Structure formats: structure tokens, C-alpha cells
Structure 1
Amino acid sequence: MIPYYGRHSPTMLNEKKNPIRYGYKVWDLNTRPGYLIQYNPYRCAGTDIRPKLGMGGSVVVDLLCKLPARCDNIYFDNLITSLPLIEALKEIGKHGIGTVRQYRLQACPLTSTTEVKKKDRGDFLICY
């Protein structure tokens, strides 16, 4: 969110965000050190949403369409990560890495939450 307290219709109120409650929502694509490559302002109804990917996945694919071919690994947070997004990235030749929220697993055969909590911090499981 870019803070803005003036009068302009695209500003949004996000009551759960403490530091920035009013402002413009912007989707951005950054390098690992934090340099901005590309950004997309949030346009509410004007956003082209692919039904299979949802809002976040559609924005990620749109941002990556203009990215140079040399960038292969894409990292994102759990707000955006989903299995359909990973599959869509695979189709365009990119690799997606992120933490998936439990309700977005779509019946994948993963280790249960109770078993994962018993393991040490830093343990991981690779499934193909």
C-alpha cells in the first residue's frame, strides 16, 4: 500500500493494516535485493482475473509475461501461492517457490499438520 489520505476514488481502506490504513494498493515485482522491476496498480473491477488462478495468481502471471526470459525462479508469499499458479508458471517455463496455506492444497498427499509439528525446525519434505 502506498499511503495517501487525500480525496481520490481508487484509495482503499484496510482496517487490519496498522501502519498504512488508507492508500493505493499496488502489486509489484522485485528482485531479490528489493529493486522494483515492474508494478501494477490494483484496479478493482478492471483487473483481468483468470478463474482458475484467482486474483493473486492472475496478477503474478500478468507481471511475469513482461519479465525477461533469464529469470526462472519466482518466490512469493502465502497470500498468492496455490497449486494452479505453480502449474501455470510451469507451462510458461518458470519455477514458483512459496509457502502454501493449508486450505489451498486441494487434496494433495502431504504430511499431516500434527506430524509436521513434531519435527525439528528446518526439516523439509520433497514430493514429486
Structure 2
Amino acid sequence: MKKCLEIESENMFSIDEMIVPYKGTKAGSLRQYLPSKPHHWGFKIFVRAGISGMVYDFLTYTGKSTFGTGQGPVKDLGVGANVVIQLCKTIKKPLDCVVFFDNFFTSLPLIVHLKESLGLRSLGTIRKNRLKGCTLEDDRGLLRQGRGSYDYWMDNEAEVAAVK
């Protein structure tokens, strides 16, 4: 992992999960079963990669001990958000970077936290249940308005926008 951190990095990153196939039984609780992946059994790894596909940092999922004892997770953000925060802490020039992630990781508090604590800009798809306090037009309403319709919500104080 130290060698990954020494590589000269890009300024656009994607954070996602991957599985390293492993069918053995000696790994105990480290081995995960993910039915949606091509290889169902293996080690679950969270990765921060550049737009070229180069891996710059990774975190092996170990259950409750994923974040160790000294790197405590941020309360009330959830596992996905804490993975993103942990992987973004190693970005060398965060003010020049943008981080992308999917709806497993994204929440409005995470985006605000990344901006305020690390100075990172971020973009992600988000689940409906994570849009607390953000009212957007429902799907039917947008369909009635026709092709190309959209709705948005902005918080100028936190500098966050949600677009549907």
C-alpha cells in the first residue's frame, strides 16, 4: 500500500469496491460473499483509482475493525462515507482534485464534510432516502414535463447542489 501512495497522482479519482476472488476457507471473516459480483467469494476491497485506472489507495474490508483503533470513523455518516473519508485523507493536493463515487457511498453530509474538512470537490449519485431536507420533483412530475426536464435543490451556505 505504501508504494501506491508514492505514485505521482492525477487530480480526478473514483472510489468504488472490488472483490479479489478467493475460494479457500482459511480467511475466516475476511472472506465475503457478494452475489452481485462475477466472483461471488473473495476479499472485499475499497479502492481510490485515478481516471487512468491506476490504484492510488485501497482499504480491505474487515468488518467492524475496518477502520482500526486509531483512525476512528466519523460518527453518523455510515460505513460507505467513512470509507470515502479514509481513502481521501491520502490525497496529496485535495484542493485541486475531484472525487466521484456511486450511491453506496454518497450522502449530503459526506459531500459537505469532504468540502469543509479536506477542501475536496465531489460528485456522486444518491439514494432517495439520503436526501433529508431536500425536496425534488418526483419521477411522474418530471415525466409530465417532457424530455429534458430536471429539478434541482441548492444549499448556498454549504455549497451543495442536488440535480434530478
Q: Choose the corresponding residue for 2:61, options 24, 42, 45.
A: 42
Scaled by the length of structure 1, the TM-score of the pair is 0.87
Q: Choose the corresponding residue for 1:116, options 121, 130, 142.
A: 142
What does the per-residue CA deviation read over 1:33-76, in whole Å, with 9 as the maximum and x for residues that have no partner?
21111101001010233222100100100110011115421111
Q: Which runs of 5+ in 1 are unaligned?
A: none
Cα deviation for residue 120 of structure 1 reads 2.1
Cα deviation for residue 125 of structure 1 reads 4.2
Tell me which residue corresponds to 1:63: 87
Scaled by the length of structure 2, the TM-score of the pair is 0.69
In structure 1, C-alpha distance between the alignment counterparts of 2:74 and 2:135, rounded to whole Å:
26
Tell me which residue corresponds to 2:21: 3
In structure 2, C-alpha distance between the alignment counterparts of 1:115 and 1:35, rounded to whole Å:
41
Percent sequence identity over aligned pairs: 28
Tell me which residue corresponds to 1:12: 32
The verdict on how the C-alpha distance between 1:36 and 1:117 changes in structure 2, with shifts beyond 3 A counting, is farther
Root-mean-square deviation (Å): 1.8
User: Residue 134 of structure 2 contacts residue 153 of structure 2 at CA under 8 Å; is this kept in 1?
Assistant: no
**Higher-RCO chain (CA-CA 8 Å, sequence separation at least 6):** 2
The verdict on how the C-alpha distance between 1:61 and 1:73 changes in structure 2, with shifts beyond 3 A counting, is same
Q: Indicate the structure with greater strand content.
A: 2
Q: Choose the corresponding residue for 1:95, options 112, 121, 139.
A: 121
Letter in 2 for 1:12: Q
In structure 1, C-alpha distance between the alignment counterparts of 2:41 and 2:75, rounded to whole Å:
28
The verdict on how the C-alpha distance between 1:100 and 1:5 changes in structure 2, with shifts beyond 3 A counting, is same
User: Residue 60 of structure 2 contacts residue 66 of structure 2 at CA under 8 Å; is this kept in 1?
Assistant: no
Q: Which runs of 5+ in 2 are unaligned?
A: 1-18, 68-72, 155-164
Q: Choose the corresponding residue for 1:83, options 83, 108, 122.
A: 108
